[in-house]
């Protein structure tokens, strides 16, 4: 997971997502670098537009509990099955 985080961090900083940069970020975090995993991630991301993949993943928004906000209305339960499926599709597109 730290390799994916490293790739996202590099993308956010507008740096090239390559083996050397990912290895540097992971190493800086104090984790031992597995070169095979780095190579696999870079290969999997080669044809992925990271910006589009991020936009495709739905973001879950936390709702404050009614007691904390002073509201007493009960809200209907939200069906998250479709959004979870969409999130998994978005994540799977990162890895081909």
- Cα–Cα distance measured from residue 41 to residue 38, given in angstroms and rounded to the nearest whole number: 5
Average pLDDT over the chain reads: 79
5 and 33 fall within a common domain: yes
Rg (CA), the chain: 18
> Which one has a higher pLDDT value, 16 or 61?
16
94 and 60 fall within a common domain: yes
Number of domains in the chain: 2
56 and 94 fall within a common domain: yes
pLDDT tens digits for range 62-76: 666 665 555 555 666
pLDDT for residue 27:
94
32 and 2 fall within a common domain: yes
Q: Which domain holds residue 60?
A: 49-96
16 and 31 fall within a common domain: yes
Written as six digits, the tokens of 34 are 């597995």
């Amino acid at each position: 997971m730290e390799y994916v985080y490293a790739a996202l961090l590099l993308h956010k900083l507008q740096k090239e997502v390559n083996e050397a940069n990912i290895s540097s970020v992971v190493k800086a975090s104090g984790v031992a670098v597995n070169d095979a995993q780095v190579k696999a991630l870079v290969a999997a991301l080669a044809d992925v537009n990271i910006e589009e993949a991020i936009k495709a993943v739905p973001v879950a928004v936390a709702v404050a509990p009614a007691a904390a906000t002073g509201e007493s209305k009960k809200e209907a339960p939200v069906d998250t099955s479709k959004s979870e499926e969409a999130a998994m599709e978005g994540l799977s597109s990162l890895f081909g």
